Chain A
């Protein structure tokens, strides 16, 4: 899913708990965030970095899995603005 972060919930600088993304058509999805999102060696996205994307309205791409507990973001990366 590609869109703008409109909510980032976290309790620390590194790992986010949950993010909410709105795509260009207005679809909104909330994802739990895997620790792998921050720990990814190629495109690490810390909670702090996610928050900066939110504040500056810079789009992201969320790669996710559907789980029994809802959507789980596995990787987040920059999207072309």
Chain B
């Protein structure tokens, strides 16, 4: 993501115009001005490109903090509100650098990753460097078979530091619930049947000095059907390298179920300790207890396996 750094700049008169032009395109910006007499406030929602007849880009990372080689998943929706799954998508990342400028910080190819269990649904994933916090924009060039390439733009924010552990940082030594018998597991886990990844607490696993794979997910209560498949992904990874790492599933909901009788939602303490803004998340940790990589939401074994293979020395 270093190609072209600083080589391209966008020059416009005001920050508002910059963000609108970068992310909506000049025509949409002018249309908004004509209707209201002034540009709308540039909230992230209003900056989304969702004009009839156009593509929509949906950045899928909820916890981007400044850093290098970070996972950047993005969904592309067509003019009929259907996800595009057959395109070649190239991304150009811009940093908003001032009131009237944005700077190209890099370009990247993507790989389409279909969400397990959801045919025809998925995201385009790349790795990128976001070397400073603040307002960013991405321009996606979308080339589908038999069609002229199209372009879509969208804004996103990069925080100074992610709320989840940063790559290279030590992970929290959380004490998570453990269970061994099927009955015990099903008291703390929403999966049915309960899975086999509750024998160790995170802190116990870290003390073993062995690579660790941790999945935070609520497989039993996810009607989007992405948490259940994420448990399948953990199964797949475990089957590939059963002895080279420890594998833990942390159920997100306290007691493994949603509130009953109108009570409040309760999460296990590790959710706060790991700073999770969403779920599911899968974390890869090395034998010194430092984070190697992290994967949010649309989790696939194909994307994780090469990283895990390197981690376990396979």
Contacts and interface: CB of A to CB of B under 8 A. Distances in A.
B298 A55 contact: yes
Nearest to A28: B50
Main secondary structure of the interface of B (DSSP, over half): loop
B5 interface: no
A34 interface: no
Interface in A1-25: 3-4, 6-14, 18, 20, 22-25
Given A26-B50, A51-B297, A9 B79 contact: no
A37 interface: no
Interface stretch (B13-21, B271-279, B301-309): B271-279
A4 B80 CA distance: 11
Contact of A49 (B45, B51, B121, B222): B222
A47 to B, nearest CB: 7
Contact of B81 (A13, A22, A30, A49): A22
B77 to A, nearest CB: 6
Q: How large is the interface on B (under 10, 10 to 19, 20 to 34, 35 or more residues)?
A: 35 or more
Given A49-B224, A52-B222, A52-B297, A6 B277 contact: no
B53 interface: yes
Interface in B275-314: 276-279, 297-298
Contacts of B60: 54-55
B265 A38 contact: yes
Given A6-B77, A10-B277, A13-B278, A20 B48 contact: yes
Contacts of B79: 26
A13 B271 contact: yes
Interface in A31-81: 38-39, 41, 44, 46-49, 51-59, 78
Contacts of A23: 81
A57 B277 contact: no
A4 B277 CA distance: 21
B218 to A, nearest CB: 9
B34 interface: no
A26 B278 contact: no
Interface residues of A, number: 39
A24 B46 CA distance: 18
A8 B224 CA distance: 15
B224 A6 contact: no
B301 to A, nearest CB: 17
B121 A41 contact: no
B22 to A, nearest CB: 16
Nearest to B52: A26
Nearest to A14: B265
Interface of A: 3-4, 6-14, 18, 20, 22-28, 30, 38-39, 41, 44, 46-49, 51-59, 78
Given A7-B45, A54-B58, 8 more contacts: A14-B267, A24-B81, A30-B45, A30-B46, A55-B123, A58-B118, A58-B224, A78-B223
